[in-house]
């Protein structure tokens, strides 16, 4: 269990990135969902011991994360949002180098571990290829391989599927799901579908604060039976936004399709629709404004 208690962080420019964040994160996939600038990356960097908070505590099992960073690093894997690579190196040579940096000094053990991970992330056939030739999805899978080198008990993955095509994204989903069976995996993202497809527990964060923490099913249940949809002319949108809790809009066939949350339909033409995690997410963000 990862226990985060009253974590605070204010940067030198006055931006409050973390405002008394408290979470309990068990084994499995945990989704941290929020808009850009919500504080997700600040929380991930703090958990990864890359920056110190102004206050609060973090415990991973019996380890004081802030007080014993060396112990934490032995149990930690981290894939940041911007993962730099050496483009002229091959996947094999660079992962072998990272393994040495992780302290896997015995050659036979290191070779076996590198081979195992490259096969696990489906990069074995291209192990001798230069990383500059890799697609976005292949680079992300290589990033997961380096994060798994030390067999971490806590894996932090920050915005991993941004820019991936659907096929690569699905491969990445499958890999993360497998990895999350026996360890804590924190998935930080602004993509609702990632959390919906992968995570057994989640939290919504906005403005450096936890808006809500529960299972995806519990969060959806809070708006189930209260979501209404209608196709309107664009000119009607402003009036409805003033009178209703409009949670999303999109164009469909030249008209605007809106979804609102209300206990009863606000006017003629609205029909009840099944609530989704995206509906619940937008609703809770609007309530936290």
pLDDT tens by residue, 11-26? 999 999 999 999 999 9
- Residue 229, beta-bridge partner list: 259, 271
Judging by DSSP bridges, how do beta strands 28-33 and 16-25 pair with one another? unpaired
Q: What is the number of alpha carbons within 13 Å of residue 218 lying toward its C-beta?
A: 10
Residue 28 has pLDDT above 80, yes or no: yes
Q: How far apart are the first and last CA of the chain?
A: 31
- Residue 99, beta-bridge partner list: none
Class of residue 76 by CB neighbours under 10 A (exposed 0-12, middle 13-18, buried 19+): buried
Q: Is 2-215 a domain of CATH 3.60.21.10? A: no
The confidence band for 175, taking pLDDT boundaries of 50, 70 and 90, is: confident
Locate the domains of the chain by residue range. Answer: 2-215, 225-273
Residue 289 has pLDDT above 70, yes or no: no
From edge to edge, which strands make up the β-sheet containing 246-252? 246-252, 255-261, 227-232, 271-272
Neighbours of 9 (CB within 10 A): 22
What is the distance between the alpha carbons of residues 68 and 65, in angstroms, rounded to a whole number? 6
What is the distance between the alpha carbons of residues 57 and 220, in angstroms, rounded to a whole number? 30
114/240: higher pLDDT: 114
40-59 pLDDT, tens digit per residue, is 989 999 999 999 999 999 99
Which H helix or E strand runs over 4? Answer: strand 2-10
């Amino acid at each position: 269990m990862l226990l985060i208690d009253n974590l605070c962080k204010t940067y030198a420019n006055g931006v409050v990135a973390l405002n008394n964040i408290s979470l309990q994160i068990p084994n499995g996939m945990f989704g941290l969902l929020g808009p850009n600038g919500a504080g997700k990356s600040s929380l991930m960097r703090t958990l990864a011991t890359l920056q110190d908070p102004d206050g609060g505590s973090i415990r991973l099992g019996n380890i004081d994360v802030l007080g014993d960073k060396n112990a934490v690093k032995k149990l930690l894997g981290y894939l940041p949002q911007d993962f730099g690579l050496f483009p002229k190196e091959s996947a094999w040579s660079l992962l072998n180098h990272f393994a040495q940096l992780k302290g896997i000094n015995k050659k036979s053990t290191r070779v076996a571990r590198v081979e195992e991970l490259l096969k696990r992330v489906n990069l074995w056939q291209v192990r001798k290829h230069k990383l500059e030739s890799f697609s976005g999805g292949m680079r992300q899978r290589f990033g997961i391989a380096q994060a798994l080198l030390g067999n971490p008990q806590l894996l932090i993955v920050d915005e991993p599927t941004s820019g991936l095509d659907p096929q690569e994204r699905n491969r990445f989903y499958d890999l993360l799901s497998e990895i999350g069976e026996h360890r804590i995996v924190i998935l930080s993202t602004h993509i609702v579908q990632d959390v919906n497809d992968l995570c057994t527990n989640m939290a919504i964060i906005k403005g450096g604060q936890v808006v809500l923490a529960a299972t995806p099913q519990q969060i959806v249940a809070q708006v189930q039976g209260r979501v209404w949809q209608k196709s309107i002319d664009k000119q009607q949108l402003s009036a409805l936004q003033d009178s209703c809790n409009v949670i999303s809009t999109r164009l469909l066939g030249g008209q605007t399709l809106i979804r609102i949350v209300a206990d009863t339909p606000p006017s003629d033409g609205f029909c009840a629709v099944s609530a989704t995690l995206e509906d619940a997410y937008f609703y809770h963000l609007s309530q936290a404004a």
